[in-house]
Amino acid sequence: MRTIRRSGEFELEIKRSRFLCALSRADSEEGAREFIAQRRRLHHDARHHCSAYVLDADGRTQRSNDDGEPAGTAGAPMLEVLRHHEITGAVAVVSRYFGGTLLGAGGLVRAYGGAVSAALEHVGLAELRPMRLVSTTAEHSLAGRLENDLRSQGFSVSDVDYGERVRFVLRIPEAEVGAFERWLAETTGGAAEPVRGELVHAEVPL
Any alpha helices (H) in the chain, and if so which ranges?
29-42, 75-84, 104-123, 140-152, 177-188
Same domain for 12 and 114, yes or no, is yes
Amino acid 188: pLDDT: 94
Domain range enclosing 66: 2-123
Whether 173 and 86 share a structural domain: no
Residue 133's nearest CA partner among 192, 202, 204 is 202
Does residue 185 sit in the same domain as residue 116? no
Q: Do residues 22 and 117 share a domain?
A: yes
Count how many Cα atoms sit within 13 Å of the Cα of residue 61 in the half-sphere of its side chain: 13
Of 123, 144, 159, which residue constitutes the final position of a domain? 123
What's the sign of the alpha-carbon dihedral 51, 56, 59, 62?
Answer: negative
Do 21 and 121 contact (CB within 8 A), yes or no?
Answer: no
Specify the DSSP element, H or E, that contains 193: none
Residues 84 and 116 in one domain: yes
Per-residue pLDDT of the chain (206 residues; tens, 9 = 90+): 999 999 999 999 999 999 999 999 999 999 999 999 999 999 999 999 999 999 998 899 999 999 999 999 999 999 999 999 999 999 999 999 999 999 999 999 999 999 999 999 999 999 999 999 999 999 999 999 999 999 999 999 999 999 999 999 999 999 999 999 999 999 999 999 999 999 998 888 88
Number of domains in the chain: 2
Instruction: Look at residue 204 in the predicted model and tell me its pLDDT.
Output: 85
Report the pLDDT value the prediction gives residue 94, as an integer from 0 to 100: 98
HSE on the CB side for 174, CA within 13 Å?
Answer: 9
Do residue 35 and residue 104 come from a single domain? yes
Residue type, position 154, single letter: G
